[in-house]
Copies of this chain bind each other. A is one copy, B any other.
Amino acid sequence: MDFSLSCPIPKSEYEKVLLAHGGGGTLSHQLINKIFISQFGNDYLNVQHDGAIIEFEGVKFAFTTDSYVVQPIFFPGGNIGELAINGTVNDISVCGAKPLFISVGFIIEEGLDLDELWKIVLSMKEASEKAKVKIVTGDTKVVEKGKGDKIFINTTGIGLVYDGINISPENAEVGDVIIINGRIAEHGIAIMSEREGLKFETKLVSDTAPLNGLIESVIEVSKKITVMRDPTRGGLASALNEIALKSNVKIEVYEKEIPIADEVIGACEILGLDPLYIANEGKVLIFVDESDAEKVLDAMRNHPLGRESKIIGKVIEKGKPLVTLKTLIGSTRIVDMISGEQLPRIC
């Protein structure tokens, strides 16, 4: 393990933290790998799953944390409170675990309306009931006006890993198909439309939702799921790149199969954004051996959050991490990890 007294990110490169260091792309990865993993590194952390899988006293559980700094705190289809519950529920679920307990840490900026806090708390209560998790411990800090931004919420969760499964970003295999449970990029576009004051004929709303029910129904029908991931910050492209990297595989996705709403395509054109890189908060990517694909698709389509589930791609080769997209017009292009910051504070 590297233990140097000077910071391993060369000063000539960056002296200060940039917004892009939190964007989920290349700079985020550099920060995480060179600073955090290099020092904190251990067998649990190195996997870089959405959470850690821990075993002790004969119990195998998932443990995951996320801080929510979304701006604005109220947006079409949800608010920061419900997002904080659903997001952590989903991170536990994609570890192949049943979410059980959640902690909540509030950092509130002095001057926040108590009415706004109350609305956030009510929707956290509702979201936790919907996801059948218990909020069991918490903490509240208040910082001076101008030293925060209304409210930041950390949620950390514990879940019990389902028997007989082994899900990890390192497990993708040649022959796996990649399934998604519905339309992409709706959370990010809902937030951006709100920020930019865009109006659409059909109101676009965030897809924030707890995925544990859907995921449980999938795990019940197949033991051949290798990877699950919720493509949040950084979108579908970043999630696939991370999996390609950790599993050392080549992934191909088919543009024409990726579910996407016309309004989202329109908004992306106006805003100059690529929907592949835009955050989702109610979507899951499931990698499963081809032989179980139909069973899994059926189970997903029988769930309210999976009606539009589709196979969008495949793992095609071992040995070199790469994600390619077969476009609508039939050409193939490489889908990179995003390098900078497309959408700050999207979650």
Q: Which residues of A pack against B, CB within 8 Å?
A: 3, 5-9, 11, 14-23, 28, 31-32, 35-36, 39-40, 42, 44-45, 49, 51-52, 54, 56-59, 63-69, 71, 100-101, 103-115, 117-118, 121-122, 124-125, 128, 134-144, 146-149, 152, 154, 156, 158, 160, 344-345
Contacts and interface: CB of A to CB of B under 8 A. Distances in A.
A57 B103 CA distance: 19
A256 B269 CA distance: 73
B17 A142 contact: yes
B345 A143 contact: yes
B138 A107 contact: no
Contacts of A156: 65, 103, 105, 154, 156
Contacts of A106: 67
Given A44-B134, A65-B105, A122-B39, A114 B15 contact: yes
A5 B103 CA distance: 24
A36 B140 CA distance: 10
Contact of A154 (B57, B105, B117, B147): B105
A45 B135 contact: yes
A135 B15 CA distance: 26
Question: Which 7 pairs show the lowest CB-CB distances between chains A and B?
Answer: A22-B142, A156-B156, A7-B118, A65-B103, A52-B136, A44-B136, A154-B154
A16 B140 contact: no
A154 B17 contact: no
13 contacts: A6-B118, A17-B142, A19-B110, A36-B140, A39-B122, A45-B135, A52-B137, A54-B101, A63-B103, A65-B104, A65-B138, A142-B344, A143-B344
B138 A36 contact: yes
A337 to B, nearest CB: 16
Given A35-B114, A44-B134, A52-B101, 20 more contacts: A3-B122, A5-B122, A8-B118, A14-B114, A16-B111, A17-B109, A17-B142, A18-B142, A19-B142, A22-B141, A32-B138, A36-B138, A36-B140, A39-B122, A45-B138, A63-B137, A65-B156, A66-B105, A69-B141, A154-B156
Contacts of A128: 40
B51 A121 contact: no
Given A19-B110, A142-B19, A160-B57, A135 B69 contact: no
Contacts of A115: 6-7, 15
A101 B14 CA distance: 32
A28 B106 CA distance: 12
A135 to B, nearest CB: 4
A101 B148 contact: no
A292 to B, nearest CB: 28
